[in-house]
Structure 1
């Protein structure tokens, strides 16, 4: 029986460096000698594609190398489950996750279980305001240290006149963001994408950093969110922010002909007006057309339906607009088409007809899909129906009042509790345009939980079952800080710790309840499982060289005694690459609880004691259960190493399992 230890790669988060080296070695085995890279050979194999110049285009800053290394360093922590109703909602059935902890460590821990599984990542990271970040891994030094590290001070004396603090804060922000973005990239599916909210302060550097991580060829767009005019500027009123978008693999999106589409706004109002006119005018389509034109004219310019005022004509099929019927680019076919009333040939478009088949044109006319003028002198049009054109490519520039989300959240939560939340309706649009059933959507700067709310709202809209993963640092809220006083007071009223993560969970609870109340026929998932970042359940080997005997005694039990069986179980899921919502069954076998995870992919018994007499019957019972489960792939079986009094029971149990096809038997 092989023993898992804290030094075993399987007990740590994914080792990205080892993965990169293995991939490189599989592509270029000639470049490896005694498991080390021969860079001269590698340069030759790449045919001169390696740029050997010291100066090259790109973004560089103090700490970039360290930030990249931090992303590649495995985490030895774990995520502890919190299934109580005070923390989680619908623990047994939900597929949604709310994780409390530093997102850098959490992203590392999720690498094995969620690599290549996330369809959409949206984050709204802290903007660079010139203040220190609260993230515990931050690199900010005081200004004196920063100047020394960047060569602007030597021996306590300035050697450069460029001593502005702004460079330091750009460095801090980039060092905070870079490893997180690097880890986020590996979680995305091949057809996935990441959207990052940012203001103009860091947008140029964010773009350059994301070019470095995702590749410039995967840049999709800078979406510009106009949030309302400000009048507090002497020069230009900056009233927008950016949402920077990169695809995981834009070439794959093109190859698969994948399109992102948003449903046009204001359609319900247009359809309602059409129905109203039908009741008033019956089949008098000319009167209905005039009624639609008059209705559009009376709308305010800000009304979303106003953008579709060209859909003003009506026939038996519905609302349409007379679209161009000519051949794209010119040089199209020119043949005779007769006007249905006068019987004379109509004017032919200068670019020719849009179809080369005269019979197809006749069929369109028979089906009343061609809109003719009063006589043959007008060029006909093809009817483009609104019901066939409800979706469009999202615009890169859009307006959404920045105050609306704050007002809605205030009403939703009962009072003010969070400053400047993101707008769930905007995020709902992003979710709807590129995700579908069972997709995983992630935000590792969860804040008030806007993304989770938006996922639930979109699921209710199209009756789907997307899942979210939210990560939020339990950042303390100080009631003495005027910017945090309201939020801290709100937590006090809830009787909860004063942290932002508590506000996140409360919003998710309320969002789930509200969506169920407003959509009684919607039976989707509105719960969430809470996990909290903590140290591993497995003892790290930390020998006391002055008293090795005492060290050995302390490490006789490999697992921490203050952790529950459920804590250990979920760490196993992370270590072995199973997701945190995988189905788990329990069965009592020979008086011991045995867990089947992922329909038998993992079988584990974490009982603290297994006697030699119990070992045989336990092994036989596990074999029988495994036959009933019939998992698709190889099954791993895991026990607590300290449960066995001696090697006899352990050896017998392992032999029985392996003789019956369960060869991968491990111990913790």
Structure 2
């Protein structure tokens, strides 16, 4: 009977398998550290297969930096970590399909590789910006100059400097780039074939991040678009320029139409994208582009007739509660609409009013323009729709200028308008804006999108006591700490995110009463060491007393749920599916997703219970190694499954 691995997947082995399928003659054998034979790649053969010319040098177009090779090795290396379910912190544990993971995102991405391989439609991340000013993240990723010189090869074995003029500022970027590089390597594996990555960033690393994204995703297969998000300027932030922009780098497959078309708001300002502004757009020609748009109760209800002559009113006309909106600009000059009356009528069936806050958005069909690369509407402002929104849900808010809800919501819409069952991941989830945006969009359009949030549980007291902390932010953090203490919650960033998602969900259920099935829950998991005991004793260290401690290979503080979800991870099953547990003859049997996996972790399980499980013919079955009294009992289990459920894969932990 096969034993489970109980560690994350070895990405090096997976990559070798992929290369072997394409270039089998590149595969040879090597000797591992323990003396065993394993598959390795003959890189000289591989290099020559991938070029028409004789390779005579190692130069290539790439972004090179200190720690790059180490980052690649780290991303491939398996870890002995797992996810432990935390039911008491979860919301709607039994029914929700959303996940919240507490822990280092690099470890989390490794752990979920099998379960979410090619299943994530959108990855949206807002990583630390390498500014050294945000006290919730390790945002200053500079490394010691001597450490940099050694890793870069500027110092020889005797401590002598090999280069008289080493790179000056590169060390301030290398560590940050390595941190991002290894996470993005893992994240790429999780995207669907039409999946999209969006990375928010500021001017400090936008150019270097763009380079590594092109390296990881490739320029030939993916488009890399930089969107500028404009914020309301507040004071002078620089000596020569005041920064009011941040950037969102969109990465998506070149071969498909990945981004949904623009959603245009129904207010005075946001008619702009529908109107032509140039002098050539005045009323001189194209009469079919001067029709009125009829609005009633804040909804577009139709389109009026084109005037038979050159007359048009100079302003919007109101008839009781109905408005006739003409293409008039703010100076009263009539401009033609971008789209002719016939074009609009052809896609009228695609128009669908959607309530968002106090106004309505109108989803225009695919004939109506795409997103522009500058997002300058007021709703993208981080203070108005970020800080104030979080503070309205959690006293203090605890964050300095979190993302505007609508910056993320519009991104999620753009990526998933055609896939309302998509999975969206954010592995720098912070205050939980991405989760909030996913739930709100589902409430608006009836979707069933799922989110996976990952966040390091950084200590709030540590953040509040750091020297040089802005007094306003410090006060906010302290207010948040008091609020979390009153709730009995852990004083970490994760608690802020979890509480924000919970409060946002409650608010959405009250606002969108028609959407009774809206999923506003989430299952909480925490990264921890393996459920399995670690044994490092040599033969001469064994004693009679020691044997009593080796009776079980499971750590004593782990329960059935811990073991069940670790098995799901190894077998590549998603963590959001329903399951039930029932007691059979005094033994607890867990059935995950109606037979995807059935497990019993009790000891000395009788044949009658084994037969009960086998008769259900699950796809997979798992037991503890100590579930059987002896080796013959273990062999007998295999025979029972061969007889009653020959297609079931049976393993032990």
Give me the whole-angstrom Cα distance separating, in 1, the residues matched to 2:447 and 2:106.
30
Q: How many Å apart are 1:460 and its aligned residue?
A: 0.7
Report the equivalent of 2:82: 78
The yes-or-no answer on 1:402 pairing with 2:382 is: yes
Deviations 1:610-642 (A, max 9, x none): 2xxxx221122113333xxxx6xxx22111111
| 1:618 corresponds to | 609
2:212 aligned to 198, 209, 213, which one?
209
1:511 to 504, 508, 519: 504
Q: Aligned-pair RMSD on alpha carbons?
A: 3.8
The CA deviation string for residues 432-481 of structure 1, in whole angstroms up to 9 with x for no partner, is 12213210000000010000000011111101110000000001122323
Conserved? CA contact 2:128–2:138, under 8 Å: no
Per the alignment, residue 596 of structure 1 pairs with 591
Q: 2:208 and 2:603 mapped to 1: Cα distance?
A: 53
Structure 1 gap ranges (5+): 298-304, 326-363, 370-384
Q: Of 186, 194, 197, which residue of structure 2 is paired with 1:194?
A: 197
2:405 to 420, 424, 427: 424
Alpha carbons 2:533, 2:554 under 8 Å: kept: yes
Q: Distance in 2 between matches of 1:321 and 1:141?
A: 55
Q: 1:368 & 1:14 partners in 2: Cα distance?
A: 54
Aligned counterparts of 1:89 and 1:278: Cα–Cα separation in 2 = 36
TM-score scaled by structure 2? 0.79
- Tell me the CA shift for residue 394 of structure 1: 1.0
CA–CA distance in structure 2, aligned partners of residues 17 and 145 of structure 1: 28
* CA–CA distance in structure 2, aligned partners of residues 368 and 493 of structure 1: 53
Q: CA deviation at 1:428?
A: 0.5
Q: Using the alignment, how far apart are the partners of 2:526 and 2:453 within structure 1?
A: 12
**Match of residue 171 from structure 1:** 174
**Are residues 1:444 and 2:427 paired?**
yes
Aligned to 1:643: 627
Equivalent residue of 1:454, what SS? helix
Aligned residues: 577
SS of the aligned residue for 2:616 comes to helix
**Residues 514, 135 of structure 1: alpha-carbon distance in 2 compared, 3 angstrom cutoff:** closer
For the pair 1:561 / 2:556, whether they are aligned, the reply is yes
Q: How does 1:85-164 map to 2 (within 5 A)?
A: 87-130=89-132, 141-152=143-154, 162=165
Q: 2:481 aligns with which of 484, 491, 496?
A: 491
TM-score, normalising length from structure 1?
Answer: 0.78
- Residues 168-204 of structure 1, C-alpha deviations (whole Å, 9 max, x = no match): 2201101111100100000000101101111111111
For residues 357-389 of structure 1, the C-alpha deviation after alignment (integer angstroms, 9 at most, x for no partner) is xxxxxxx89x999xxxxxxxxxxxxxxx99667
Give the secondary structure class of the aligned counterpart of 2:555: coil
Match of 2:62 among 54, 58, 70: 58
Correspondence for 2:370: 393
2:296 aligned with 1:275? yes
Change (3 A) 1:74 1:278: closer
Tell me the secondary structure at the aligned position of residue 618 of structure 1.
helix
2:547 and 2:327 map into 1 onto residues whose CA distance is 74
Q: What is the Cα deviation at residue 24 of structure 1?
A: 1.1
**Structure 1 position 665 matched with structure 2 position 650:** yes
Structure-2 change in CA distance of 1:321 and 1:50 (3 Å): farther
Equivalent-residue separation in structure 2 for 1:290 and 1:408 (angstroms): 46
- Please tell me whether the aligned partners of residues 491 and 498 of structure 1 are also in contact (alpha carbons under 8 angstroms): yes
Q: Which residue is 1:233 aligned to?
A: 238
Deviation at 1:505? 0.6
Distance 1:657 1:228, change over 3 A: same
Match of 1:540 in 2: 534
Contact 1:82 1:532 in 2 (8 A): yes
SS in 2 for 1:455: helix
2:316 is matched with which residue? 295
Contact 1:474–1:501 (Cα < 8 Å) also in 2: yes
Does structure 1 conserve the Cα–Cα contact (< 8 Å) formed by 2:63 and 2:212? yes
Q: Equivalent residue of 2:13, what SS? A: helix
Note if contact 2:145-2:171 (Cα within 8 Å) is conserved in structure 1: yes
Once the two structures are superposed, residues 308-361 of structure 1 have per-residue CA deviations (whole angstroms, 9 ceiling, x without a partner) of 969x999xxxx9948579xxxxxxxxxxxxxxxxxxxxxxxxxxxxxxxxxxxx
Q: Would the alpha carbon gap of residues 386 and 637 (structure 1) be closer, same or farther in structure 2, given more than 3 Å must change?
A: closer
Shift of 1:109: 0.3
Q: Is the 8 A contact 1:2 1:665 kept in 2?
A: yes
Higher Rg of the two aligned structures:
1
Match in the other structure for 1:467: 450
* Structure 2: runs of 5 or more not aligned: 30-38, 272-291, 319-324, 347-361
Q: Measure, in 1, the Cα distance between the counterparts of 2:99 and 2:11.
A: 24
Q: Is 1:2 paired with 2:2?
A: yes
CA gap 1:226/1:545 in 2 versus in 1, 3 angstroms = farther
Q: Which residue of 1 aligns with 2:354?
A: none
Shift in CA distance, 390/417, structure 1 to aligned 2, threshold 3 Å: farther
Per-residue Cα deviation, 1:373-412 (whole angstroms, up to 9, x for no partner) = xxxxxxxxxxxx9966785311111113332121222223
How big is the shift at 1:506?
A: 0.8
CA distance in 2: counterparts of 1:422 and 1:541, whole angstroms? 46
- Distance in 2 of aligned mates of 1:493 and 1:214: 43
* Preserved contact between residue 82 and residue 531 of structure 2 (Cα < 8 Å): yes
Helix, strand or coil for the counterpart of 2:295? helix
Judging changes above 3 Å, is the alpha-carbon distance between structure 1 residues 72 and 386 closer, same or farther for their aligned structure 2 residues?
closer
**Structure 1 stretch 413-422 or stretch 506-515: which is displaced more?**
413-422
> How far 1:590 sits from its partner (Å)?
2.7
Counterparts of 1:446 and 1:107 in 2: how far apart (Å)?
A: 13
Deviations 1:518-537 (A, max 9, x none): 11111210001100000010
Cα separation, 1, equivalents of 2:151 and 2:299: 75
Q: In the TM superposition, what is the alpha-carbon distance from 1:657 to its structure 2 partner? A: 1.7
2:188 aligns with one of 181, 185, 191 = 185
Q: Aligned partners of 1:227, 1:137: CA distance in 2, in Å?
A: 21
